[in-house]
Structure 1
Amino acid sequence: MLPQTEMLGEGTKGLDLRSDADVLACLLDAQKAALNGLDGCLAGLSQGAALLSNAIKSGGRIHYAAAGSSGLMGLADGAELPGTYGLSPESISISMAGGIPTGAEMPGHTEDDVDAAKVASAGVRSGDAVIAISASGSTPFPLDFVRHARSAGAKIICIANNNDAPLFEHADCAIFLNTPPELIAGSTRMGAATAQKVALNMMSTLMGIRLGHVHDGMMVNVVADNRKLRQRAEGIIKKIAGVSDAEASLALHKAAGNLKPAILLAAGATTVTQADQMLAQSGGHLRPALEQL
């Protein structure tokens, strides 16, 4: 029997003969149905987020390992974490079969390269966390990556869209995305990848919250390195500290662009040193630091 990710979806008879509007409606319905596959994953995503936050708090790294569309989903999630949550770029590693593409060429044979997986996993250490992603759950590159990473002592999170995925045999945290067969059979860049992206976004966002980088829905550890983000940072300072535009801008300047200390300065801390000490005492969490004022 074919794995679920290779089966032909329902309602595809004569798909190529239908109107544009009908085809697009079918595609949209398939994407929505794929998201329903996350309904049973919340406990797994919570466990995975804990493993990720523990790795970061202990000075470890987060490694994404995948091929093809799954690799692109890992890249989309991991590459945003330093800017969004102020994580060190060196704390995030993205290993994609064949390397991260710079154009439209993404050859399929690289997903079978187990030697490349061994080389890519050489930097994994005890205390790190690995997120391995594969729609089929049997792709050789992430499968061999986690074998080596597990032997190095890393914690392994595996995400797959087939329930009996071999990948899950190596997981500390197994997350099965129960997505239906694709409308275009085997085209897992569609529903399966959509569910993967949402699962990754949910897990890494929960990690960011648990690390103390979110306050009332605001990203208080954002790296404000362009005009839009500086404006956002100043707006966050105004909202939390209840100060004017000028006071928010001055606090951000005094804190050299570091948002949490800037918020504390605007709220009443007298120096950056004091603000930093308050954050150190609160484990980097803004709310208990504000309560000290």
Structure 2
Amino acid sequence: MPNEENRLTDLLDVLAALGTEASSTERGDLDLLGTAELVTRMNAEDRRVPEAVAERSAEIAAAVDGITARFRRGGRLIYIGAGTAGRVGVLDASECPPTFGTDPSMVVGLIAGGETAIRSAVENAEDDGDAAAQSLREIELTAHDTVVGISASGRTPYVVGGLEFARGVGALTVAIASNAASEIGAVADIAIEVVTGPEFISGSTRLKSGTAQKLVVNMLTTLSMIKLGKTHHGVMVDLLATNEKLHARSIRTVTELTGATVDDAAAALASADGSVKLAILMLSTGASAERSVQALQDADGILRVAIAGLS
């Protein structure tokens, strides 16, 4: 019992020092406010998040460059996290294939407690410091990969253990935390510590902390994909047309970027097996599908370079 009490005391001391766990005297009257005032106050808190993210621009840029370099070597981006932080990583990973036409194995989200934890809380899963390392072993992590650990507190054992294992393998390690001088930041090669301060509801890190995490992971994948040539003139050109809306968007993208008619765009997409990038290249240069495929390979998938090479 004394050891248990000591552990509890130590944990309470740790939590007391975290900005994300702090209470604000400004919000002691929330239950007495009208709905409109609650909306105004919560929105005011949320507006602070982008500013806090902007303060970490240098670290985010360094992470994007590191991730991009490893992607070019065939590496992967793996998110690890628990609870909201884990779900943020899983969401970002799941959005990459339809948005950028990537293989599902290129960006992976691992969450403490496994698939069940995406929708339901899994008790004590975040406290298992060995679980993330085991999951990383199972997917055969290599030095070509990047592991991004996400934790609002910056001390989640699942994330700490995963980053320590990844660093031992030689992978690039990145930490996203909502507190300064975080434990995961000390473990990682790059620490992105977005200090968001007390939550609107004390300790509810699905709020400002979760918003900050989403903004950062949006940049990590979106900007690395831009550098890989997944966009052209700010438009998605490697998207997968998996439904009617995306098929229509594919045609619209081709018409906007080439000036082709809808019929010509649809015909080019059919000839290109649905590849927006290939259809644009064919229509822009008049090259055959076969020659366009080779040009894209020679240009490392960057459409601007391929067009210049065939023009």
Give the TM-score normalised by structure 2. Answer: 0.90
Once the 2 structures are TM-superposed, how far is the Cα of residue 153 of structure 1 from its aligned partner?
Answer: 1.1
Alpha-carbon distance in structure 2 between the residues aligned to 1:102 and 1:268: 49
Alpha-carbon distance in structure 2 between the residues aligned to 1:209 and 1:162: 29
Equivalent pair of 1:68/1:108 in contact (CA under 8 Å): no
Q: Which amino acid aligns with 2:236?
A: M
1:60 to 66, 75, 90: 75
Question: After the TM superposition, which of the residue ranges 233-242 and 155-164 deviates more from structure 2?
Answer: 233-242
Alpha-carbon distance in structure 1 between the residues aligned to 2:228 and 2:19: 36
Alpha-carbon distance in structure 2 between the residues aligned to 1:193 and 1:287: 36
1:277 to 278, 286, 294: 294
Once the 2 structures are TM-superposed, how far is the Cα of residue 170 of structure 1 from its aligned partner?
Answer: 1.9
In the TM superposition, what whole-angstrom CA distance separates every residue of 1:137-167 from its partner, at most 9, and x where no partner exists?
A: 1000011001111111110111101111010
In the TM superposition, what whole-angstrom CA distance separates every residue of 1:261-285 from its partner, at most 9, and x where no partner exists?
A: 1111112333211111111221111
Equivalent pair of 2:59/2:191 in contact (CA under 8 Å): yes
2:60 to 2, 24, 45: 45
Q: Highest relative contact order (Cα 8 Å, sep 6+), 1 or 2?
A: 1
Once the 2 structures are TM-superposed, how far is the Cα of residue 104 of structure 1 from its aligned partner?
Answer: 4.3
Tell me whether 1:16 sits opposite 2:49 in the alignment: no
> Aligned in 2, Cα 1:4/1:103: closer, same or farther, shift over 3 Å?
closer
In the alignment, which residue of structure 1 is the partner of 2:204?
A: 187
Name the count of aligned residue pairs. Answer: 293
Following superposition of structure 1 onto structure 2, how do residues 117-266 of structure 1 map, counting pairs within 5 Å?
Answer: 117-122=132-137, 123-266=140-283
In the alignment, which residue of structure 2 is the partner of 1:97?
A: 112
Aligned alpha-carbon RMSD (Å):
1.4
Equivalent pair of 2:111/2:117 in contact (CA under 8 Å): no
Q: Which amino acid aligns with 1:59?
A: G
Alpha-carbon distance in structure 2 between the residues aligned to 1:268 and 1:246: 18
Alpha-carbon distance in structure 1 between the residues aligned to 2:208 and 2:181: 19
1:35 to 38, 45, 50: 50
Equivalent pair of 1:36/1:179 in contact (CA under 8 Å): no
> Aligned in 2, Cα 1:159/1:103: closer, same or farther, shift over 3 Å?
closer
Once the 2 structures are TM-superposed, how far is the Cα of residue 69 of structure 1 from its aligned partner?
Answer: 0.7
Q: Which amino acid aligns with 1:176?
A: E
Once the 2 structures are TM-superposed, how far is the Cα of residue 102 of structure 1 from its aligned partner?
Answer: 6.9
Specify every segment of 5 or more residues in structure 2 that has no aligned partner in the other structure, as ranges: 1-15
Give the TM-score normalised by structure 1. Answer: 0.96
Alpha-carbon distance in structure 1 between the residues aligned to 2:270 and 2:24: 55
Query: Does the residue aligned with 2:283 lie in a helix, a strand or coil?
Result: helix
Once the 2 structures are TM-superposed, how far is the Cα of residue 35 of structure 1 from its aligned partner?
Answer: 2.4
Identity %: 32
Equivalent pair of 1:33/1:180 in contact (CA under 8 Å): no
In the alignment, which residue of structure 2 is the partner of 1:84?
A: 99
Alpha-carbon distance in structure 1 between the residues aligned to 2:217 and 2:147: 12
Query: Does the residue aligned with 1:262 lie in a helix, a strand or coil?
Result: helix
